[in-house]
Amino acid sequence: MTSANVPNSGLTFVDNSQGCSAAVAELSGLLDVALDQFDIEGETSDQLQLQLKRLYDEAAKYSNSHLGDDGKLEQWQCTRHEAEIVSIAFACAAGVYQPDLDPSVPGFTFEKESHIAPSIGGTVKATDIFIVKDSSPQTKTNPLLPVMVVAIRGTASRVDRIVNLNGESRLVTTGDWKIRAHGGFLNGAESLTPSVAQKIAQEAKKNAVKHVLFTGHSAGGAVASLLFMNFLSRAISDYPSMKFSVVSFGAPPITQPDMNPTIMASDSSFARNCGLVLSMINEYDLVPRADQAYIRSLVDLYRSIYSLPPIPDDTAKESSTNFVIPRLSFESRSDDTEKRIQKVWSLPKPVYWHIGKLVVLKVKLANKKETEDDEWILNASVVTPQNFARLLFCNVDIHKRLRYQERVDMLLEGRFNGRTTWQTVD
């Protein structure tokens, strides 16, 4: 029972914790409601806004709640052609939410080839397949075009949970890879595989398109990533002349173990068929950090607002989770530059990881005179999976498709990492 002077939070697990599973499930439910509402660009209730703001403000007290000093980050060396593919991917990923509106990116044409309707239970996610070409084919400026884009919709209802605490990992053999993947997202990928394989076979036979791009926002990006891995592993035998890419936006982590080194470096046998492998992430976005271990840590973070202790270790042993609870005590480190001690919220090892290159998009106001209009500048940084696992992101609003659209537009225009436009040589 909590102290009488603890304010009512509106959350049962804060005021009267009944155990680890209930606590994690309740915060997951809170975030699920928020993500559902934000996913359709809706508005949240005042109470929910207050609860989310409390969590976000508490996280902001810790030095690992943001990306860090721009000068110490590895800048993403994005080419103009890659920025175009990212923009095309996002246009299709956003377009699948609004099937009556055609995706649009200046300089390119989008032809919808087919639509896969979602299942009632949420296993099959709504999917659109496009053929995208240069609008002036005689120029053929981008070597990654024409491209067949497979865009998978993210969360559409309460059935589609971003954080599925009941979804156990499943062992899957993908070519020479033996990995464990998030069961819910894996089910989604497997359910789409026959339909997508049929369309790829048709394009391969016509020999008109030699590049397939998987994409999606949020949960759609997780399913797209697993589909990509499946088809890339089969490329040598089934699609030797086809190149496969994946660009996800704000997608949750999906695989055990970390597959980043395998796909990006060590597995050279797939190099010929592997194109872009990008996980695009907005700074502060909660969803790309969300797995069971991370959500449990947020439970302890929220409890700390009211000076409540972490969920007891013996309770954790009774639950189905198998990770270490972070303590409320924090690590301290001296910063000779700022001459102060910074607090770091200690996080557990992730249960799941992303695939490919993690590109974190960070915006801030430019240093301008107060009399001038505000101008946002964008930094696009490559972050290692290990460093990303140390970040305490818990903002829901930044997960909106609109927020990703703003940053993708800046990439397409060449306004990032200190530049203001693309040069002719780019």
Q: Please determine, for residue 315, whether its predicted confidence score (pLDDT) is greater than 50.
A: no
Query: Which residues face 185 on adjacent strands?
Result: none
Model pLDDT, residue 175: 63
Higher local confidence (pLDDT), 306 or 160? 306
CA–CA separation, 222 vs 353, rounded Å? 11
Model pLDDT, residue 333: 39
Question: Would you state the structure tokens that stand for residue 403, as one six-digit string?
Answer: 């927020």
Place of tokens 């991917």: 89
Q: Do 191 and 132 contact (CB within 8 A), yes or no?
A: no
Model pLDDT, residue 379: 95
Q: pLDDT class for 416, splitting at 50, 70, 90?
A: very high
Q: At 42, which helix (H) or strand (E)?
A: none
CA–CA separation, 322 vs 180, rounded Å? 15
Q: Please determine, for residue 44, whether its predicted confidence score (pLDDT) is greater than 70.
A: no
At CA 107, angle to CA 101 and CA 110, rounded to 5? 35
**Long-range contacts of 378-381, Cβ-Cβ distance < 8 Å, separation of 24 or more:** 378/407, 378/410, 378/411, 378/415, 378/416, 378/417, 379/70, 379/73, 379/75, 379/416, 379/417, 380/75, 380/76, 380/78, 380/411, 380/416, 380/417, 381/67, 381/70, 381/73, 381/74, 381/75, 381/76
pLDDT tens digits, 115-147: 988 877 667 888 999 999 998 766 568 999 999
Q: pLDDT class for 185, splitting at 50, 70, 90?
A: confident
- Full strand arrangement of the beta sheet holding 211-217: 74-75, 376-383, 357-365, 274-282, 243-249, 211-217, 147-152, 127-134, 108-116
CA–CA separation, 28 vs 25, rounded Å? 5
DSSP 161: -
Alpha carbon dihedral 90, 390, 318, 7, in 10-degree steps, equals -90
Q: How many residues does the chain have?
A: 426
When the pLDDT of each residue in the chain is averaged and rounded to a whole number, the result is 78
Q: Which of 66-70, 128-132, 164-168, 422-426 has the lowest mean pLDDT?
A: 164-168
Q: Which of 13-27, 54-68, 72-86, 348-362 has the lowest mean pLDDT?
A: 13-27
Ordered by start, the domain boundaries in the chain are: 1-61+292-347, 74-282
Kindly state the average pLDDT of the residues 403-423.
93
Residue 83's nearest CA partner among 380, 307, 411 is: 411
CA–CA separation, 65 vs 411, rounded Å? 24
Residue 389's nearest CA partner among 332, 338, 344, 340 is: 344
DSSP letters, 7-19, are: PP-S-HHHHS---
Residues 6+ apart with CB under 8 A from 388: 281, 288, 289, 354, 358, 360
Q: Which of 109-113, 160-164, 294-298 has the lowest mean pLDDT?
A: 160-164
Q: Do 391 and 266 contact (CB within 8 A), yes or no?
A: no
Question: Would you state the structure tokens that stand for residue 162, as one six-digit string?
Answer: 């971003």
Kindly state the average pLDDT of the residues 61-76.
88
Q: pLDDT class for 389, splitting at 50, 70, 90?
A: very high
Percentage of the chain beyond pLDDT 90 is: 38
Q: pLDDT class for 167, splitting at 50, 70, 90?
A: low
Model pLDDT, residue 291: 84
Q: Please determine, for residue 151, whether its predicted confidence score (pLDDT) is greater than 90.
A: yes
Higher local confidence (pLDDT), 325 or 187? 187
Say whether domain 74-282 belongs to CATH 3.40.50.720. no
Amino acid (one-letter) located at 50: L
Whole-structure pTM value: 0.84
Q: At 171, which helix (H) or strand (E)?
A: strand 169-174
Q: Do 289 and 360 contact (CB within 8 A), yes or no?
A: no
Report the range out of 165-179, 342-356, 407-421 with the highest average pLDDT. 407-421
pLDDT tens digits, 203-256: 888 888 999 999 999 889 999 999 999 999 888 888 888 999 999 999 999 888
Percentage of the chain beyond pLDDT 70 is: 70
CA–CA separation, 276 vs 232, rounded Å? 12
Model pLDDT, residue 319: 37
